[in-house]
């Protein structure tokens, strides 16, 4: 398994190819509690990555200090190809005529 990212509050680390891909999306990297691209974790998983958390408990409260994004080395290129397609689908603008009807056109 190859680690492509270690996402933390203070100092996230990314494989250069993944960081370039993410920065090129125009998606706000801090849209989720200040953790670089943490909100994209479900999309990393859908593109084939495994995400594990570094966490510890304080009684019944869990404190996550980071998340690691791994892919099998043989899937790295496929992951990097698939991820932008999924992100474009999720974050892309809808084509005119698609989606919910415009209520101002009554």
Look at residue 38 in the predicted model and tell me its pLDDT: 87
Residue tagged 């891909």 (tokens): 21
Look at residue 4 in the predicted model and tell me its pLDDT: 98
Question: Which structure tokens are listed for 72?
Answer: 């099998």
Regions of the chain where pLDDT drops below 50: 97, 99-106
Look at residue 84 in the predicted model and tell me its pLDDT: 96
Look at residue 100 in the predicted model and tell me its pLDDT: 46
Look at residue 101 in the predicted model and tell me its pLDDT: 47
Residue tagged 């899937």 (tokens): 75
Instruction: Quote the CA–CA distance of 59 and 72 in Å, as a whole number.
Output: 35
Look at residue 104 in the predicted model and tell me its pLDDT: 45
Look at residue 93 in the predicted model and tell me its pLDDT: 66
Look at residue 73 in the predicted model and tell me its pLDDT: 96
Instruction: Quote the CA–CA distance of 14 and 29 in Å, as a whole number.
Output: 12
């Amino acid at each position: 398994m190859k680690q492509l990212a270690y996402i933390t509050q203070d100092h996230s680390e990314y494989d250069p190819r993944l960081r370039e891909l993410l920065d090129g999306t125009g998606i706000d990297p801090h849209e989720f509690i200040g953790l670089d691209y943490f909100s994209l974790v479900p999309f990393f998983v859908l593109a084939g990555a495994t995400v594990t958390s570094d966490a510890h408990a304080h009684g019944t409260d869990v404190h996550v200090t980071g998340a690691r994004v791994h892919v099998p080395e043989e899937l790295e290129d496929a992951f990097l190809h698939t991820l932008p397609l999924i992100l474009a689908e999720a974050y892309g603008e809808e084509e005119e005529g698609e989606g919910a009807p415009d209520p101002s056109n009554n």
